[in-house]
Amino acid sequence: MIIARNLLERFVAPIIFLVAISSSIAQSAQSTELSVTNAAPAQGETIELTATTDGSAGAPPSVTFNKQTYKLFPRGGSADSNKYVALLAIPADIKPGKYQVLAGSDRVDLTVKAGKFPIQYLTLPKSKDNFLMSPGEEEGIAAAKATVSDKRMWTGVFTVPSKYATSSKFGMKRVVNGKLLDDYFHSGLDFRAPAGTPIVSCAPGKVVLVGLKWRLHGNCVAVDHGQGVISIYIHMTSVGVKVGQDVEAGQKLGTVGSTGRASGPHLHWSLYVNNVATNPQPWIAVPNSKAWLAKTSAAE
Ligand SMILES: [Zn+2]
């Protein structure tokens, strides 16, 4: 009898266990419909993903794309909504081709197109022809870029951070002093602005970083706009804000300069979306029917 009971336990217990697993799969496999604002984005583009649940099992916790996990936020800020959103930045250096965005067993397919980024030729003095950083600089920038706070603080199109014309576009490959930089693309948008002219915040947010006299970024400021969107302003002459300070769109952050690794005075402005550099141009384009911003209702 003892043998029989052991056998029974050995076979029945796993069956019960399997039933328990499959019923928990059945419970969590609520249908989640995934959609994106553009299923054929270019390298460097931001798209918005919406996950619509049937309401049976709460929020899907996250989605994955290109080996990265993205947190989902209730659309409109309301927790009872059955729509959740995440902004996905298509990296400028991702290989064009087919990708999947996954939420549990649900998925949406993307076809990433080439960004068609031009090559730029630059001359830098020997002392600045390197990417050396000051103590704490790499860590400070990395922490700022990785900030993900819950509240989306902006509405609609972003404010242009300098009134001067843009020069180097996002995504450019560079030949510096005659040498092509491998694994490099221009991670922001440059404005050909004279030294001392104002730099303003592109959207409401909170200052999360002030770097001073850093070798690469010079004097710089990073602002968190919520839900993984961070703006960074570098090479500044002066900085007029403090870490932790709330800023409005258009509020002065400091002035243009050529501190750090710069060949002359200009504003380098980067936008990061969930830690990935994205092309800032569509965020400030007015009108721009293709920008996801124009289609997205303002979220609290
Ligand atoms: Zn730049």
The band of 57, judged by pLDDT with boundaries at 50, 70 and 90, is: low
Q: How far does residue 279's CA lie from ligand 1's centre (Å)?
A: 12
Cα dihedral: 36, 68, 155, 111 (round 10)? -30
pLDDT given for residue 125 in this prediction: 83
| pLDDT(297) > 70 | no
- Residue pair 68/62 in contact (Cβ under 8 Å)? The answer is no
Per the listing, tokens 């059955």 go with: 82
Q: In this predicted structure, what is the pLDDT of residue 21?
A: 37
DSSP-derived letter for residue 130 is: S
Distance 268 CA to ligand 1 centre (A): 4
Q: What are phi and psi of 77, to 5 degrees?
A: 80, -5
Q: Torsions phi, psi of 137, nearest 5?
A: -70, -50
What is the per-residue pLDDT across 253-276, written as a single tens digit (0 to 9) for each? 999 999 998 889 999 999 999 999
Q: What is the pLDDT of residue 27?
A: 44
Q: Please count the CA atoms within 13 angstroms of the CA of 169 that sit on its side-chain side.
A: 12
Helices marked H in 221-287 — which ranges?
281-284
Instruction: Tell how far the Cα of 48 is from the centroid of ligand 1, in angstroms.
Output: 26
- 188 alpha carbon to ligand 1 midpoint, in Å? 6
Over range 108-117, report the average pLDDT.
95
| Residue, of 279 and 7, whose pLDDT is higher | 279
Tokens describing residue 103: 């939420």
Write the pLDDT tens digit of every residue in 65-84. Answer: 999 999 999 887 666 678 89
Give pLDDT tens digits for 183-202. Answer: 889 999 999 999 999 999 99
Residue 101, classified by CB atoms within 10 Å of its CB into exposed (0-12), middle (13-18) or buried (19+), is: buried
What does the pLDDT read at residue 136?
Answer: 95
Query: How far away, in angstroms, is 185 Cα from ligand 1 center?
Result: 10
- Give the up-direction half-sphere exposure of residue 162: CA atoms within 13 A in the CB hemisphere: 29
Cα 267 to ligand 1 centroid, rounded to whole Å: 7
Instruction: Return the structure tokens found at 86.
Output: 């995440």
> From the CA of 114, how far away is ligand 1's center (Å)?
21
Residues contacting 102, CB < 8 A, separation 6+: 63, 64, 65
**Of 89, 85, 101, 45, residue with least CA distance to 273:** 89
Decide if pLDDT at 217 tops 50: yes
* Better pLDDT: 275 or 106: 275
Question: What is the 276 CA–ligand 1 centroid distance (Å)?
Answer: 16
Contact yes or no for 220/209 (Cβ under 8 A): yes
Chain segment 228-256, per-residue pLDDT in tens: 999 999 999 999 999 999 999 999 999 99
